[in-house]
Chain A
């Protein structure tokens, strides 16, 4: 644990998420979850499929508001902020979705340039950074390819490249090693580790054994029955 950067991490306090189902049926996904994820550390959340790992990451990333409770980022209650401020704060977040979302009629390179598109940077500079990331993820040869033609593993790595484009302070990765072969898995884990070393707050949700056994996490958490417990 790196105490000098502790204030820049993520924290959730008493977060509850209730999914309003059809009719009067409501399902409690997360119940009174409290946890602190430190900057410069990698936290691994495990749990069975459907335990609510993705929902928790979405709440931490500011993509979803909790039914109750608060998410703090660098000490600020970001989940309570109005939409305009949350939009701005989200620029500091890199999100790796379990099922990657893309604009499928754009090329791979264009898709990973998207996070920086509205930030006013010079196009050539953005492109250079995007190509560097593609190279790190061994996707250089696919830069001009349409995303729809890529395999599941390639899409997942592309999603990682896009998450890293904005040099995020908070990197949230949902099943980063799914659909990856051994080499791809290693590359993904190396990049997550590198992000942690660069003082980013990294939270990984996974139930893939390779990810769990890689032993890159500083903190381990188990999500079961809507409750998050730290594994000592």
Chain B
């Protein structure tokens, strides 16, 4: 007789599922929902933390801010740049003019673009640098993206003509940003000409970030607060960890549902003594019986994992998916888009396997192991028709 490539037991396992189709369908739906809920929560935390870390790594090595007893004060551009560049190890320093002002639908991050920055931007994303009275806005600033004018309230209330909306794919960095001409930004933020919000500094080596801080602090004649990239990443990581903790509350009811599925599966499998006895009497070995049960469970788990993971990905990564914004809180408009990361998705799948699929397979395996050791006649006893 010919031997097929795929064991016919897989087909018999599927046939076994067809004997109780509604039960199998409900089981797949339950597992799919569990995987989708858990997967979405885990994927969200993973994606946010991965992309944030990635973005922060692209940011400046150090940010220097001038502070006083009352808080933040602007720093003089020219003097600060000279002082920063005089510190050995600093390879590049730029002043930034930015802050938070009130937009039409909530706070927005305002960024003043001067000539130099404008040139850089032109090379990447901007069609042109915003001139006086013009604005380039991020994808999440307005819920209605067909508006032509935006009103911003800071020290003054000013209207700006929208000349460009940044592409959604850059939203990880620019979602709530409004780019203005530097003079307009200064007016709104209350920063006088020749002053900046802070100083962005690049150092030669990543390892120097920490080492250069005391020298840099000493170079300025006023008190400064210096934030290293590592510190920023650390702060965000703490935030994502809190977010991860919040997902735990979502997982609790999901885990309760899983416990019910596992208990139901064990009870169902233990109730199939007659079948086990009959198949053993027909020459099925214990291994065959265990394989059949496992293949049956694997087919269910594969279907549920595929549907569940796809649903989870759609829930988290589908552009403008509103629940993620709601979950993270703070978005009045569209939440920022997230992107799938292969290693992250794989890691979430591993976690899902450990939390959901493994207990389900164990719930199938354990009764199978328990049943197959008995003599066939003992299993068939009392079931004669």
Contact = CB atoms under 8 A, between A and B. Distances in A.
Contacts of A61: 281
A122 B3 contact: yes
Contacts of A65: 375
A101 B380 contact: yes
Interface string A118-131: 10111101100000
B278 A101 contact: yes
A121 B278 CA distance: 20
B19 A123 contact: no
A122 B287 CA distance: 20
A204 interface: no
Interface in A89-114: 90-93, 95, 99-106, 110, 114
A125 B1 contact: yes
Contacts of B15: 106, 110
Contacts of A126: 1, 8
Contact of B385 (A93, A104, A114, A118): A104
Contacts, number: 95
Given A88-B285, A101-B278, A101-B380, A117 B375 contact: no
A3 to B, nearest CB: 29
Contact of B285 (A87, A99, A114, A162): A87
Interface residues of B, number: 37
Contacts of B11: 123
Given A87-B285, A88-B285, A117 B2 contact: no
A85 to B, nearest CB: 10
A103 B380 CA distance: 12
A101 B19 contact: no
Contacts of B275: 103
Contact of A115 (B274, B282, B291, B384): B282
A91 B372 CA distance: 16
B283 A91 contact: yes
A120 B9 CA distance: 8
A122 B7 CA distance: 9
A70 to B, nearest CB: 16
Contacts of A122: 1-4, 8
A83 B282 CA distance: 15
A63 B377 contact: yes
Contacts of A207: none
B286 A121 contact: no
A92 B283 CA distance: 8
B285 A121 contact: no
A101 B377 CA distance: 11
B310 interface: no
Nearest to A152: B385
A184 interface: no
B3 A90 contact: no
B377 A90 contact: no
A93 B384 contact: no
Nearest to B381: A64
Contact of B288 (A83, A100, A101, A118): A118
Max count, chain A CB within 10 A of own CB: residue among B9, B280, B285, B287: B285
A103 B173 CA distance: 62
Nearest to A58: B377
A154 B355 CA distance: 49
B19 A106 contact: yes
A64 B373 contact: no
A209 interface: no
A106 to B, nearest CB: 7
Contacts of A63: 280-281, 375-377, 380
Interface in B359-385: 372-373, 375-378, 380, 383-385
A84 B286 CA distance: 7
Interface string B10-34: 0110010001000000000000000
Nearest first, the 8 A-B pairs at minimum CB distance are: A118-B288, A87-B285, A91-B283, A122-B2, A64-B377, A63-B377, A99-B384, A121-B1
Given A91-B283, A120-B7, A121-B4, 11 more contacts: A64-B377, A83-B373, A84-B286, A87-B283, A87-B286, A95-B281, A100-B385, A101-B385, A117-B9, A123-B11, A125-B2
17 contacts: A63-B375, A64-B378, A83-B372, A83-B373, A87-B286, A88-B285, A90-B281, A92-B283, A95-B282, A99-B384, A99-B385, A104-B385, A106-B19, A115-B283, A117-B12, A122-B3, A125-B1
